[in-house]
């Protein structure tokens, strides 16, 4: 495993080694998908299997060859199946049309079949293929499920839901234990209904957005079978990306003198908007730091270009606020500090009547642009009053 992996990656690998199933959650933009990719890469090269070349002996060098460095026992102990050499990562994404047959096994119509061949075939689902690999000699498998709560997770897992817990797996040598939980499934090899159990060296890593209002919450009994790992919006990560230090006590200037002023306004505005979202809808509905990060480092750009880059990220933040407070104009206005905020805020909440009913309307720029983004950020970040 590379030494430069993040602390979140190390923690995830440790949890996988301990519990076999880890569920990553957190607001959008907190780096869940990035963490899945990082863990997948680290899983393929465990401690003790590094490919560093050994030093060559030089007879003319009076300094002896140093002993080869070995991974620490502590690191190996907390790594999933560190002694297994045949390692593979399997990936899937759940959605509304995800089915048990695609994940475990099931019958599906045969495609491009030849004359005389069966009309149906048995699918080898992602979970089944990962399990079979983990059952092989020196096998270890990591199954990654992104957006697990976007599909009917309980139905997709089916009977396998009772068998995923670490204490209900097969023993490390593949033998049955008293606690091993079996479930019925169609054998893709024979078509018979068989009893199946999950192997010791199968690891399942899933991610979900708990605040996604478009999907149903996961079943509590299903959630109990996972070790949770929550990611939070991280101001320090955004400041590091922007090349900024800790927040100072100085107020933001009326106009940005340099790129640093614009980036400081972006960070402070993001923190303030998240505080309002957490107050109005709850912490799960905040927006992560990743939404304001990209492959372009704004601190390396000219001021006008940096402001244009901020417009892209803040259009996403604004869209998130409008979704979170959908149908609640005053809630949107509060998040954007347009209720009783500073006079220079380009967003204003107006009141009017329709059929003798009081209605609210948020007025302001249709889109963020270089000539209005800084004023907006400065207004979002300003204390109320």
At 310 the pLDDT is 97
Work out the burial of residue 214: count CB atoms within 10 Å of its CB; fewer than 13 is exposed, 13-18 middle, 19 or more buried.
exposed
Answer yes or no: are the C-beta atoms of 192 and 164 closer than 8 Å: no
Q: What is the pLDDT along the chain (385 residues), one digit of tens a residue?
A: 555 789 999 999 999 999 999 999 999 999 999 999 999 999 998 876 654 444 555 566 655 555 544 544 455 668 999 999 999 999 999 999 999 999 999 988 777 777 777 778 888 999 999 999 999 999 999 999 999 999 899 999 999 999 999 999 999 999 999 999 999 999 998 889 999 999 999 999 999 987 765 566 678 888 999 999 999 999 999 999 999 998 877 899 999 999 999 999 999 999 999 999 999 999 999 999 999 999 999 999 999 999 999 999 999 999 999 999 999 999 999 999 999 889 999 999 998 888 878 888 999 999 999 999 999 999 999 876 4
- Among residues 271, 231, 205, 210, which one has the least CA distance to residue 21? 205
What domains can you pick out in the chain, each with its CATH number?
7-230 (3.40.50.300), 235-381 (no CATH)
Answer yes or no: are the C-beta atoms of 160 and 125 closer than 8 Å: no
At 71 the pLDDT is 45
E strand or H helix at 348? strand 348-354
For tokens 């079996």, the residue is 182
Buried b (16+ CB within 10 A) or exposed e, 193-205: eeebbbbbbbbbb
At 213 the pLDDT is 55
At 107 the pLDDT is 87
Length, in residues, of the chain? 385
For tokens 């009017």, the residue is 352
Angle at alpha carbon of residue 187, lines to 185 and 188, rounded to 5°: 125
| Whether the predicted model's global pTM rises above the 0.95 cut | no
At 221 the pLDDT is 86
For tokens 């309307």, the residue is 361
Answer yes or no: are the C-beta atoms of 228 and 11 closer than 8 Å: no
């Amino acid at each position: 495993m590379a030494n430069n992996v993040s602390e979140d990656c190390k923690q995830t690998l440790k949890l996988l080694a301990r519990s076999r199933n880890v569920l990553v959650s957190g607001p959008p933009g907190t780096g869940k998908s990035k963490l899945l990719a990082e863990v997948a890469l680290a899983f393929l090269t465990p401690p003790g299997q590094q490919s560093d070349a050994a030093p060559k002996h030089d007879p003319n060098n009076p300094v002896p060859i140093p002993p080869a460095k070995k991974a620490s026992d502590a690191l190996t102990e907390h790594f999933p199946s560190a002694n297994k050499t045949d390692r593979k990562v399997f990936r899937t994404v759940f959605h509304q049309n995800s089915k048990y047959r695609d994940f475990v096994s099931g019958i599906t119509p045969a495609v491009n079949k030849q004359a005389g061949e069966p009309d149906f075939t048995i699918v080898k689902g992602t979970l089944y293929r990962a399990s079979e690999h983990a059952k092989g000699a020196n096998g270890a498998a990591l199954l990654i499920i992104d957006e697990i709560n976007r599909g009917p997770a309980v139905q997709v897992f089916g009977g396998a839901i009772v068998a995923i817990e670490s204490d209900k797996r097969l023993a490390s040598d593949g033998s049955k234990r008293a606690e091993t939980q079996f479930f019925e499934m169609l054998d893709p090899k024979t078509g018979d209904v068989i009893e199946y159990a999950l192997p010791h060296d199968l690891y399942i890593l899933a991610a979900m957005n708990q605040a996604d209002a478009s999907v149903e919450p996961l079943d509590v009994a299903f959630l109990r079978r996972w070790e949770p790992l929550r990611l939070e919006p991280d101001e320090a990560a955004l400041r590091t990306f922007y090349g900024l230090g800790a927040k100072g006590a100085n107020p933001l200037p009326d106009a940005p003198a340099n790129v640093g002023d614009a980036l400081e306004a972006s960070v402070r505005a993001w923190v303030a908007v998240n505080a309002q979202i957490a107050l109005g809808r709850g912490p799960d509905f905040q927006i992560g730091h990743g939404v304001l990060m990209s492959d372009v480092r704004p601190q390396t750009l000219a001021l006008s270009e940096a402001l244009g880059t901020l417009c892209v990220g803040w259009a996403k933040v604004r869209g998130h606020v409008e979704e979170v407070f959908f149908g609640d104009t005053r809630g949107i206005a509060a998040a954007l500090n347009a209720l009783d905020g500073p006079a220079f805020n380009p967003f204003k909440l107006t009141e009017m009547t329709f059929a003798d009913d009081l209605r609210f309307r948020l007025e302001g720029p249709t889109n963020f642009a270089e000539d209005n983004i800084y004023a907006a950020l400065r207004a979002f970040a300003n204390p109320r009053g």
